Amino acid sequence: MSFLSQTLARVKPSPTIAITGRARELAAEGRDIISLSAGEPDFDTPAHIREAAKAAIDAGHTRYTAVDGIPELKRAICDKFAQENGLDYGPAQVTVGTGGKQILYNALMATLNPGDEVIIPAPYWVSYPDMVLLAGGTPVVIEGAMANGYRITPEQLEAAITPRTKWVILNSPSNPTGAGYGEEHMRGLTEVLMRHPHVWVLSDDIYEHLVFDDFRFVTPAQVEPGLTSRTLTMNGVSKAYAMTGWRIGYGAGPEALIRAMAKLQSQSTSNPCSISQYAALAALQGPQDYIQESRAVFQRRRDLVVEGLNACPGIDCPVPQGAFYVYPSISALIGKTSAGGAAIADDEAFATALLNETGVAVVFGAAFGLSPHFRISYATSDAVLADACARIRAFCEGLR
């Protein structure tokens, strides 16, 4: 019998590990590698947030706090939801965890029983299906086609719902596509959900502030208040304020769910880092200029990358509404052979050959549940992005 748990055996090793490992090996050999795989802003955390953290240390905020967040932060989160999303939550309906990731994990662990189904639109953030499996549930994947802007349709959602459906996970703007559900698209989904009162909604709003052009962010409970009593609205400071390492995420939902999630957290990690909580408080309550500034930079980079990729023969790159990812199609390249002699049988082979022959590391689409595509994170400088696009173009031009 294996020493390791049967639960762990249900989880796949990350499909991105192979390419990341290969990129590391090549860099160690002295190759010039451009990694476009990291999902985090390349900016420093704004100064006033860093100062608030230093002040928190000096003020002695270095001890255990309430398990799921200090009261000041919970109140600031309620204010954020009221002002930015028109959602009316009290502090007892708010939970703070070690990153948005822990909030999602807590919610699934606290609610799933064997046989419970969770609807996950693909392409999806890699952690959703594995978290569902760890919690003993069954992921039910539905495909958001590129022709539909990578969004699922109300009809697809309706068809995927069964009596065993417990949650549907929505993520707008999305990792890995950057696709967003505007009010009209979101309403199409909330109308379906209103017809199925046993289905709960997990809305991952972590990229809320990274939206471009005239796209207006909406969250399901805002579009359809009738869903509030069965929605967990999740968000965090990682992407909005360049705070990925601080590990603060939060969620708001019905009190009974929030209490169950806190119970789980009390027996696993206890409170999120006390200092980070004060930093998050400063992020939510302080000047918001960083959000506008970073949005402008990411929009410029998005335009640069979309243009650069669409200039590559065989790559078709739609324009995303948000986040800092593009998810181009390479269907026209499947079956070709690279200048270095690699057969491009699928998107994993494309990513491997691209890395070996040009030094550009991207994540292949199969990792996110929709092929043949690849994901680029453009959270890096314009110069690096221009270099990467030039190398990808030369690679595509060399395909036969």
Ligand X SMILES: Cc1ncc(COP(=O)(O)O)c(C=O)c1O
* Residues found near ligand X in the complex (CB under 6 A): 39, 99-101, 125, 171, 175, 204, 206, 236, 238, 244, 249
Closer by beta carbon to ligand X, 99 or else 322: 99
Closer by beta carbon to ligand X, 39 or else 69: 39
For residue 208, the SS3 value is coil
Overall size of the chain counted in residues: 400
Q: Among candidates 218, 254, 240, which has minimal Cα distance to 100?
A: 240
Q: Could you tell me the end-to-end alpha-carbon distance of the chain, in angstroms, rounded to an integer?
A: 49
* Helix ranges (DSSP H) in 71-226: 71-85, 99-111, 127-134, 154-160, 183-194, 220-223
Minimum gap (Å) between residue 358 Cβ and ligand X: 25
Minimum gap (Å) between residue 382 Cβ and ligand X: 22
Minimum gap (Å) between residue 233 Cβ and ligand X: 13
Cα radius of gyration (the chain)? 21
Minimum gap (Å) between residue 112 Cβ and ligand X: 18
Closer by beta carbon to ligand X, 12 or else 31: 12
Closer by beta carbon to ligand X, 212 or else 395: 212
Backbone angles phi, psi at 168, to 5 degrees: -125, 135
Please give the Cα distance from 385 to 379 (Å, whole number).
9
Please give the Cα distance from 237 to 216 (Å, whole number).
19
Closer by beta carbon to ligand X, 189 or else 202: 202
Closer by beta carbon to ligand X, 109 or else 399: 109
Please give the Cα distance from 48 to 264 (Å, whole number).
33
Minimum gap (Å) between residue 99 Cβ and ligand X: 3
Closer by beta carbon to ligand X, 35 or else 358: 35
- Which residues neighbour 245 within 8 Å (Cβ) at sequence distance 6 or greater? none
Structure tokens at 184: 């009209």
Please give the Cα distance from 109 to 263 (Å, whole number).
11
Minimum gap (Å) between residue 340 Cβ and ligand X: 32
Closer by beta carbon to ligand X, 108 or else 399: 108
Q: Is the peptide bond before 129 cis (omega within 30 degrees of 0)?
A: no
Minimum gap (Å) between residue 175 Cβ and ligand X: 4
Q: Is 268 left (phi over 0), alpha (psi -120 to 50) or beta?
A: alpha
Minimum gap (Å) between residue 370 Cβ and ligand X: 15
Please give the Cα distance from 236 to 252 (Å, whole number).
11
Interhelix angle 289-310/382-397, rounded to 10 degrees, is 20
Task: Give the residue at shortest CB distance from ligand X.
Answer: 99
